[in-house]
Amino acid sequence: TVMKCSNEWVSLNSSYIVKKANFSYIQQMPMNMTGQLTVYINLTSTGGKYQPKTPFYAHVNVGGCNNPGAHLKINMSMPAGPQNEIWFNLSASAMGPSYMVNVMKGARLSNLTLARSLVIDDAMGLPMACCDLAPPPLPPTSPP
């Protein structure tokens, strides 16, 4: 299952100017793969607080960027908290655009389509950017 950013990255903090670059998506790998949940983020960020090689974080929400709602839980029957939410530890590249890959080993969602937005926070926890998630379009089918 793959959920792609369906729009431009939206800046959530006046200290950052972010733009969509190429692609950003979350992918759930088959059961036989080591990394269960992977995020690929490719974005350009400029602004007063951006520092190369700085750690920052991404998390997944159940609502879109305009109405994010709660953090998506891995197990819906368990309480919310860092161990039951999807958090990715990322780091900025030395020069933009930054490109990060992170794998959550063992995390597996019963339904990745519940993910509606991907939010990136800086190292201080301030929101930087958001993109709405959607399944990629299906390839066209030929008429019978």
Range of the domain at 46: 2-134
Split at pLDDT 50, 70, 90, the class of 69 is: confident
- pLDDT value for 16: 62
Q: Do the domain assignments include residue 92? A: yes
Q: Do the domain assignments include residue 56? A: yes
SS (H, E, C) the chain: CEEEECCCCEECCCCCEEEECCCCEEEECCCCCCEEEEEEEEEEEECCCCCCCCEEEEEEECCCCCCCCCECECCCCCCCCHHHECEEEEECCCCCCEEEEEEEECCCCCCHHHCCEEEEECCCCCEEEEEEEECCCCCCCCCC
Q: Do the domain assignments include residue 139? A: no
Tell me the average pLDDT across 99-104. Answer: 52
pLDDT digits (tens, 9 = 90+) for 79-91: 888 778 877 777 6
Tell me the average pLDDT across 117-127. Answer: 80
- pLDDT value for 97: 43
Split at pLDDT 50, 70, 90, the class of 48 is: very low
Q: What is the CATH classification number for the domain harbouring 112?
A: 2.60.40.200
